[in-house]
Amino acid sequence: MRTILAILFQFCLVYGITAQNTVMVLHVAGQVQYLPHYGAKPVNIAPGDELELKGKIRCKGSGSARLVYEGTPITVTGTKMRDVEEIVKTAVKSSEMSFTGRFFNFLNESLKEGVTDEKLKKHHRRYMNKSSGGIKGFATPEATIKALLTTTGKLPQANVVFKWRKVPGTGPYLFVVQDARQKTVAQLLLRDTLVVLDLDHLALNLDEEYTWSVTRGEKDRSAQIPFEICPASIVDQQTDLSHEKTYQSASEAEKQLMLAYRLEEERFFYAAQKTYQDLFQQNPDNVVFRRMYATFLARLDMLPEAETLISGKQK
């Protein structure tokens, strides 16, 4: 019995030692960020990097990354923050098959009847979704309610104002907060196009990503806007500019501008908007600050607000 236990223990030890705990980055397109642990400063990954399984990963914009874990290739896309371990588990599950299995799978597929010309002519409509001549471009968005993107990215724990644009029609708006598994965390019926939430009072975890969305009736809905909550201490830690020489030698207004830009870079859009706004209100005649604020709003797809800001000065 002891011998068996000893062998079992040794096997577990060897397996534990040899098991790969890192994922290798093969290729990166655009910007992809990795967080080794919660609260850590996100780092941009590059080909050849080894990422630990316990970390989290997120792509910026349309960025993507190609990873490899124990021979299994994994493609990561999307702006949602995801556990590396979870991504790996899903990929590994779907790629295990022996040579014989693949062979018989191929034979089985070969036995299935292909699409003949006759079949194609008879049921042509069934086969019209496979190819089309043209490229993807601008189109009517699926989301009819436009959610304002200042409440995406990292949000403070205290009162946060979630806003969206008004759409024609009647009836209340349904505001919903969901977690990564699409489980509803909070739900509110509202008449207005904004809601103020104290996120601290909701059952939200610090290291998880959530989404908020608005619907009205069956037709009108907004896109799901991802967000996460971030304590003030981490905001200060990740946007600390005090050690930089240019920051030290800058004027107060310039410091505020630099901070606003850093906040935006680190996805603290809500805090960045407040900083830009404060800066603009303190210096209403400063064209540079006005334009910086307007371009920030434009980057968040808030073009009407940006236009108003610019045209307001011109008047």
Partner 1 sequence: MLRRIIFPHSLILTFLMFALIWILDVIRINLHFLNPFNESIRDYQITDIVYSRLRDKRIAVDNRIVMVNTGQPSRDTLAMLVNRIREAGAKVIAIDIMLEERKNPVTDSILLTSLTSMENVVLAMEIDGVNDETGIFSIQKSCNPYFCDNVYSGFINFITNDTSTVRIFSPKEMTTTGECLSFPVQAARLYDQEAADRLFKRGNKVEEIYYFGNEDQFVQCEQTDILDTSRNLQGIIKDKIVLIGFLPIDSWDKPMRDRHYTPLNARYTGRNTPDMYGIVIHANIIRMILDNTYVVEPSWGLNLLLTFLICYFNIHLYYQIFRRVSVPYHFVTRFLQIGETVILFFLVALLFHFYRIKIDAGYWITALLLTFDAVKFYDNGIKKRIPLFNKIPYELPLSVKKKKTQPEKNSAEKSSDEPPVVEKPDNKSSEK
Number of residues that bind partner 1 (CB under 8 A): 22
Strands (E) located in 122-193: 153-155, 159-163, 173-178, 184-190
Say if CB 116 and CB 105 are below 8 A apart. Answer: no
Interface with partner 1 (CB under 8 A), residue from 4, 17, 19, 107? 107
**Encoding tokens for residue 53?**
């399984």
Contact code string over 252-291 relative to partner 1, x by CB under 8 A? ----------------------------------------
26 forms part of the interface with partner 1 (CB under 8 A): yes
Smallest Cα–Cα separation from 226: which of 151, 174, 159? 151
CA–CA gap between residue 69 and residue 21 (Å, rounded): 9
Instruction: Tell the smallest beta-carbon distance from residue 189 to partner 1 (Å).
Output: 41
Stretch that binds partner 1, among 101-109, 123-131, 241-249, 261-269 (CB under 8 A): 101-109
Interface with partner 1 (CB under 8 A), residue from 36, 40, 66, 79? 66
68 forms part of the interface with partner 1 (CB under 8 A): yes
Instruction: Tell the smallest beta-carbon distance from residue 146 to partner 1 (Å).
Output: 25
Sorted by sequence, the CB contacts under 8 Å of residue 218 that are 6+ apart come out as none
3-state secondary structure of 119: helix
Binding to partner 1, residues 42-61 (CB under 8 A): 46-48
3-state secondary structure of 86: helix
CA–CA gap between residue 297 and residue 84 (Å, rounded): 32
76 forms part of the interface with partner 1 (CB under 8 A): no
171 forms part of the interface with partner 1 (CB under 8 A): no
Is the CB of 63 or the CB of 153 nearer to partner 1? 63
40 forms part of the interface with partner 1 (CB under 8 A): no
Angle (nearest 5°) at CA 99 between 93 and 100: 110
Is the CB of 66 or the CB of 165 nearer to partner 1? 66
137 forms part of the interface with partner 1 (CB under 8 A): no
Binding to partner 1, residues 147-166 (CB under 8 A): none
Is the CB of 89 or the CB of 219 nearer to partner 1? 89
- DSSP secondary-structure letter at 145? B
Sorted by sequence, the CB contacts under 8 Å of residue 133 that are 6+ apart come out as none
Interface with partner 1 (CB under 8 A), residue from 24, 40, 143, 241? 24
Instruction: Tell the smallest beta-carbon distance from residue 135 to partner 1 (Å).
Output: 8
Angle (nearest 5°) at CA 272 between 267 and 274: 145
Backbone angles phi, psi at 93, to 5 degrees: -55, -40
Contact positions toward partner 1, by CB under 8 A? 24, 26-30, 46-48, 64, 66, 68, 70-73, 95, 99, 102-103, 106-107
